[in-house]
Structure 1
Amino acid sequence: MPDNLKVLIVGGGITGTALATLLARGGVETHVAEVKAQWTTIGSGITLQGNALRVLRELGVWGAVRERGYAFDSVGIRTPAGDLLFETSDLRSGGDDLPATMGMYRPDLQAVLVDAAARAGAVIRLGRTVTSVDPVVFDDGTTDSYDLVVGADGIHSAVRAMIGIDAPPEPVGMGIWRVHARRPKSVERTDLAYGGPCFIAGYCPTGEDTLYAYLVEPNRDKATVAAADKAEIMRALAEPYGGAWTEIRADITDPDRVNYTWFESLLVRGPWNRGNVVLAGDAVHACPPTLAQGAAQCLEDASVLAELLLARGRVDQELFDAYTARRFERVRTVVESSVQLARWQLDGVRDADVPGLMGRVGAMVSERP
């Protein structure tokens, strides 16, 4: 167990809270600075593949996740009208004793992870961030010293910029509309429809009574999307789709339950640290959700970094080199494969080896990171 180590994690999302839980539980004095004044999350639902569930079990929250989410082991492909073309078993990438996939309301996952970090002994401060990381200066002017600072502050990471890594996220060319809605009883897994006016029309159950549904289109100027019009726009995009979409569309009424974001990608190829400041999660790699691996890769970052730090008991360049070596090729494959799937659709490639690509990624993430 490390003696007298003190760690600051900037960002209280999936990566930050997972890392805080593991470090605090391992005896490290762990502080989390989250810029938001209250716990809010962007997005309506989240798809967790088996390798994400494997880390959530390591965190000790699998029971809470299983209780609040919706597990399933297959995926269906449908016509825009809603007719089932085929269904296939999904890979249990977390092991045979975990479901292949779990859908969950994103704020519920956040609540579970925050509670785990707090119970482990992490000190979490909301409405607080840093203006400098070397030395650490908080936005209220106070200072503190840490053995390690982790930038887990997302795809638009301020910490990444502070340490001089210039790696802005790149638009992929697609935008996604998401809504949190009531679950039609016929929806028991993720079904995807291709060939309609949108690139993808899909949904994922997130609980006994809820789901999140999504429509993927060419990205549009976000400045033209007025908050009050979001439900109306998504409802119109959903109009050509049948089957479960008929019920889903009728429930797209509250613009506050609809969000629109672009698909973006990011991959830092150089060292992931500068001095004793290191990046993790979406701050260092991010991908479009075409493989549903974003959260899983963030959780794996937290698991690997915590494992290495707790085993070594000290912060040095060897720690950072080992962390990057364990993670880089895996996240590179996920990011590049996720982008490739999107580009095949954008370019209208009909003979793309989608099953082969997905199979290779699935086999890789089934192995422990």
Structure 2
Amino acid sequence: MADPRTVLVIGGGASGNAVTVLLRRAGIAVDLVEARDDWNATAGSGITLQGNALRVLRELGVWDRVKESGFGFGSVGITAPDGTVLHVADDVRTGGDDLPATVGMRRPRLQQILIDAVRASGASVRLGVRAESLHQDGDGVDVRFTDGTEARYDLVIGADGIGSATRAAIGITDRPEPTGMAIWRIATARPEGVVRTDLAYGGPAYIAGYCPTSDTTLYAYVVEANRDRASIPADSYADEMSRLAKHYGGFWPEITAHITDPAKVNYTWFDRMLVEGSWHRGRVVLIGDAAHCCPPTLAQGAALSLEDALVLAELLTGADTWDDALLQAYYERRIARVRPVVKASVQIGQWQLDGVRDADVPGLMGRTMTMLKELP
């Protein structure tokens, strides 16, 4: 394949932004299209970034900004519903000893940092645009866009998330499936004493937890059995979350006092999906949530997506030929790491749904996180 190579990235979330920056650094021409006009710059409440995510963000050159914008910590607490601390465990440093175990931050802030990195990379970015059709042959992919333009690329990367249209367009029939749980989330003020994630199991919800996201903010969440979203009016979201949260002690009364604006509360079902066999068809390849998703019980969703971007970019920039063998090697390298995380994340939730009281949750978490210390 003669240089300059050209790549289309469909989707401007964490994985799409990351792979764009890495490919541009290698001199590859990249077009990024994002369906939303605002580039998802304001969506979401908070995000928990564990060390293996931080390792990729450092490779992207944005670690200093992430460190300044977030809240780093190294342990997790388990509490009773009344707030009594039952156990505090050190988090596994999955990114190595030179990075924090965990950084919590506001999701819009992380997105803006990645947006700035994409802009600085020199990639071509079009917002409010989707890929309307993909037609490929042995040498490339012809793409028609919803703004009426057309272009040809050596490779297309589908980073368009859990509902990926790219995945469907290339004939991969996997779809996300609900696990039976749902989560209420809000970004709000941080009580002064909150310096780590604490998780309460039991009470009216399966889990009630929070994560500091800056010196002044946190995001809080409660997990329950999923309900028909159409049956929950949007203007009742604050009341619904408060109804669950008010039964928890410790810092929860202070947090719950701020759950007043339904527009600031997010309600989402937990989904699971893992595409098996390969993540590509011809010259179109999937990364991130387009290829796999799991409940946030291990807080690894963003980390796995960022790792996908790092590994794919490493393989593409180090190869003279972009072919089936290369893209299958990407899948084989990733599936060995992603599969156990997806399975463990789903299993932890299923144990709660089934009411298994003697489940080895700490053991499963520990084994999985230790595995993630290895380089992706």
- 1:60 has 2:61 as partner: yes
- 1:253 has 2:260 as partner: yes
Pairing 1:153-168 to 2, within 5 Å after superposition: 153-168=160-175
Cα drift, residue 42 of structure 1? 4.0
For 2:350 and 2:111, the matched residues in 1 are separated by 31
Which stretches of structure 1, 4 residues or more, deviate above 6 A after TM superposition?
none
- 1:51 has 2:52 as partner: yes
Q: Is the 8 A contact 1:2 1:310 kept in 2?
A: no
Which residue identity is paired with 1:7?
V
Instruction: Give the 3 Å change call, closer, same or farther, for CA 129–201 of structure 1 in structure 2.
Output: same
Counterpart among 278, 286, 294 of residue 285 in structure 2: 278
Aligned to 1:106: 107
Secondary structure class of the residue paired with 1:366: coil
Pairing 1:293-332 to 2, within 5 Å after superposition: 293-332=300-339
Deviations 1:94-124 (A, max 9, x none): 0001000010100000000111111111111
For 2:344 and 2:87, the matched residues in 1 are separated by 23
Q: Is the 8 A contact 1:265 1:286 kept in 2?
A: yes
Aligned to 1:86: 87
Which residue identity is paired with 2:75?
S
Secondary structure class of the residue paired with 1:241: coil
Which residue identity is paired with 1:228?
D
Instruction: Give the 3 Å change call, closer, same or farther, for CA 81–2 of structure 1 in structure 2.
Output: farther
Counterpart among 198, 204, 217 of residue 224 in structure 2: 217
For 2:2 and 2:77, the matched residues in 1 are separated by 47
Cα drift, residue 2 of structure 1? 8.0
Cα drift, residue 50 of structure 1? 0.4
TM-score (norm 1): 0.98
Counterpart among 132, 138, 150 of residue 143 in structure 1: 150
For 1:13 and 1:313, the matched residues in 2 are separated by 28
Secondary structure class of the residue paired with 1:306: helix
Deviations 1:135-158 (A, max 9, x none): 311012211000000000001100
For 1:290 and 1:80, the matched residues in 2 are separated by 18
For 1:151 and 1:81, the matched residues in 2 are separated by 45
Secondary structure class of the residue paired with 2:199: strand
Q: Is the 8 A contact 1:133 1:149 kept in 2?
A: no
Unaligned ranges ≥5, structure 2: 136-141
Deviations 1:297-346 (A, max 9, x none): 00000000000000004321121011011101111111111000000000
Q: Is the 8 A contact 1:4 1:28 kept in 2?
A: yes
Secondary structure class of the residue paired with 2:372: helix
Deviations 1:9-61 (A, max 9, x none): 00000000000000011100011100001122542000001000000000000
For 1:250 and 1:146, the matched residues in 2 are separated by 52
Instruction: Give the 3 Å change call, closer, same or farther, for CA 263–310 of structure 1 in structure 2.
Output: same
Secondary structure class of the residue paired with 2:162: coil
Counterpart among 235, 238, 242 of residue 249 in structure 2: 242
Cα drift, residue 128 of structure 1? 0.6
Aligned to 2:5: 5
Aligned to 2:276: 269
Unaligned ranges ≥5, structure 1: none
For 2:242 and 2:352, the matched residues in 1 are separated by 23
Aligned to 2:138: none
Counterpart among 236, 256, 259 of residue 229 in structure 1: 236
TM-score (norm 2): 0.96
Secondary structure class of the residue paired with 1:145: strand
Aligned to 2:28: 28
- 1:188 has 2:195 as partner: yes
Which residue identity is paired with 2:199?
L
For 1:285 and 1:46, the matched residues in 2 are separated by 18
For 2:34 and 2:323, the matched residues in 1 are separated by 25
Q: Is the 8 A contact 1:2 1:314 kept in 2?
A: no
RMSD over aligned Cα, in angstroms?
A: 1.2
Aligned to 1:202: 209
Deviations 1:147-170 (A, max 9, x none): 000000001100000001101101
Q: Is the 8 A contact 1:215 1:238 kept in 2?
A: yes
- 1:19 has 2:19 as partner: yes
Q: Is the 8 A contact 1:80 1:194 kept in 2?
A: yes
Q: Is the 8 A contact 1:304 1:323 kept in 2?
A: yes
Count of matched residue pairs: 369
Q: Identity over aligned residues, as a percent?
A: 60
Deviations 1:64-110 (A, max 9, x none): 00000000000101111111111111111100010000101000000
